[in-house]
């Protein structure tokens, strides 16, 4: 990941992100397949969230210390599914939709903050939705229907 830059003078947020990127790359390499994803928050202080399958106490300590050394807070989020598993679930969902009703899909992809995948469909096709639920683990998909200008969320159960 390259440092964040844009037009104009560099902001404090850009400087903070530029300090974080090499640290994130090192964490991604060391966590390997157990990494579920990472995302940034800027509410109170710069926070890097790192979702990890089965994080150890040592990892929490190390990541927290390394983040603090560059002015960030680290939040370690235990995850059930890894990033590669979420990608696989996304591929399974999109392949099923492509076979059944190719025009139904608006978007799909992993969301590390929820440790789930999002699937957005154009219409509430009952048989397609039932097949999606049968083909994926029950806890892995957030499904929404967006037709026109409104959005409704379909419950998982």
Q: Residue 154 — very low, low, confident or very high, per pLDDT cuts 50/70/90?
A: low
CATH topology for 12-78 is Alpha-Beta Plaits (3.30.70)
Per-residue pLDDT, 12: 87
CA 139 to chain centroid: 15
pLDDT band at 156 (very low <50, low <70, confident <90, very high): low
Q: What is the pLDDT of residue 36?
A: 95
Question: Reduced to 3 states, what is the DSSP secondary structure of residue 41?
Answer: strand
**pLDDT, tens digit (0-9, with 9 covering 90-100), for 3-60:** 555 677 888 889 999 999 999 999 999 999 999 999 999 988 999 999 999 999 999 9
Closest CA to 40 of 82, 81, 77: 77
pLDDT of 72 higher than 50 = yes
Q: Which residue ranges does the chain devote to CATH 3.30.70?
A: 12-78
As a whole number of angstroms, the distance between CA 78 and CA 80 comes to: 7
Assess whether pLDDT exceeds 60 at residue 81. Answer: yes
pLDDT tens per residue, range 88-111:
999 999 999 999 998 999 999 999
Q: What is the pLDDT of residue 6?
A: 62
The pLDDT, as a whole number, for residue 54 is 96
- Ranges for all domains in the chain classified under CATH 1.10.287.4300: 83-154
Segment holding 86, helix H or strand E: helix 83-100
CATH 2.60.320.10 fits 83-154, yes or no: no
> Using one digit for the tens of pLDDT, what is the confidence trace for 115-151?
999 999 999 999 999 999 999 998 999 999 987 644 4
pTM over 0.85? The answer is no
């Amino acid at each position: 990941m390259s440092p964040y830059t844009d037009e104009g003078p560099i902001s404090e947020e850009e400087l903070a992100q530029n300090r974080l990127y090499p640290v994130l790359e090192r964490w991604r390499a060391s966590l390997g397949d157990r990494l579920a994803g990472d995302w940034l928050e800027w509410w109170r202080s710069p926070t890097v969230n790192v979702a990890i399958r089965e994080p150890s106490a040592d990892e929490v300590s190390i990541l927290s210390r390394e983040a603090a050394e560059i002015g960030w807070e680290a939040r370690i989020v235990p995850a059930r599914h890894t990033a590669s598993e979420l990608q696989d679930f996304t591929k399974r969902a999109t392949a099923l939709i492509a076979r059944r009703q190719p025009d139904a899909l608006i978007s799909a992809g992993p969301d590390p903050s929820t440790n789930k995948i999002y699937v957005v469909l154009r219409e509430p096709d009952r048989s397609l939705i039932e097949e999606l639920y049968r083909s994926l683990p029950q806890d892995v998909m957030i499904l929404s229907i967006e037709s026109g200008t409104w959005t409704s969320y379909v419950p998982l159960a």
